[in-house]
Amino acid sequence: MKILIVAATEEELHPSLSFLAERQIEYLITGVGMVACSYALSKRLQNGRVDLLIQVGIGGILDREAALGEVYQIVQDEIFEMGAEDRENFLTIEQLGLGAHQFYELIDAVPKSIPFAKKAQAITVNKVHGRESSIARLRIRYTKPLIESMEGASFFYVALQEGIAALQFRAVSNYVEPRNRAAWNIGLAVGNMNSFLQELIKSLV
């Protein structure tokens, strides 16, 4: 099975670089955001087919009862608020008849023996939430747990278009709250994400 590991930044994958090199597992650093992810992943896939795409990274979680550092398997991701305002209402791109904004993991070719991670839905944003009023709207609109990132939906979109099995995993580095860097735990999230990734690779190859 030919696997491609995808991450937005090298820092998110750094603890596993030697592990991946020893096993000749390819990885791709896309850059941050949906545009960068879509371009980098599409360009790479033009140069050779893979059997499984695995995106890993960190993200924020809406649920304040969740533990920082915990790894989640993202089963559904969406481009947040892709559509149009209609006065006080919001129309999704589906309601406009112009496409889709929700995408899902593709697991037909994935063995069932992969390590366990809690399941979550996610939103992919261009602007990370950091204002009480917008966070309150998220709590009304979404069920727990909800993970926020800046690449996930575009990763699933490219996988869907190419018909390639795809999994996404995120470790929680912070809560979705008014910006508070002192409360982040990026080191814990990166460490746990990479420990999980290495166990995942061992179960696949």
| pLDDT single digits (tens) 31-68 | 999 999 999 999 999 999 999 999 999 999 999 999 99
**Is 7 a residue whose pLDDT tops 80?**
yes
Domain ranges, residue 48: 3-204
Compute the average pLDDT of residues 108-122. Answer: 88
Give the contacts of 77 (CB within 8 A, at least 6 positions apart): 102, 103, 104, 121, 122, 123, 124, 149, 152, 153, 155, 156, 168
Fill in the DSSP letter of residue 123. Answer: E
Minimum mean pLDDT range among 108-112, 128-132, 151-155: 108-112
Instruction: Look at residue 102 in the predicted model and tell me its pLDDT.
Output: 96
CATH code of the domain covering residue 103: 3.40.50.1580
Structure tokens, 74? 């993202």
Calpha distance 8→183 (Å, rounded):
22
Model pLDDT, residue 78: 97
Give the pTM.
0.95
- As for how many domains the chain has, the answer is 1
pLDDT score, position 60: 98
- Per-residue confidence (pLDDT) for residue 110, from 0 to 100: 79
Q: Are 33 and 125 in contact (CB under 8 A)?
A: no
CA angle 43, 163, 160 (to 5 degrees): 80
Q: What is the mean pLDDT of residues 142-157?
A: 96
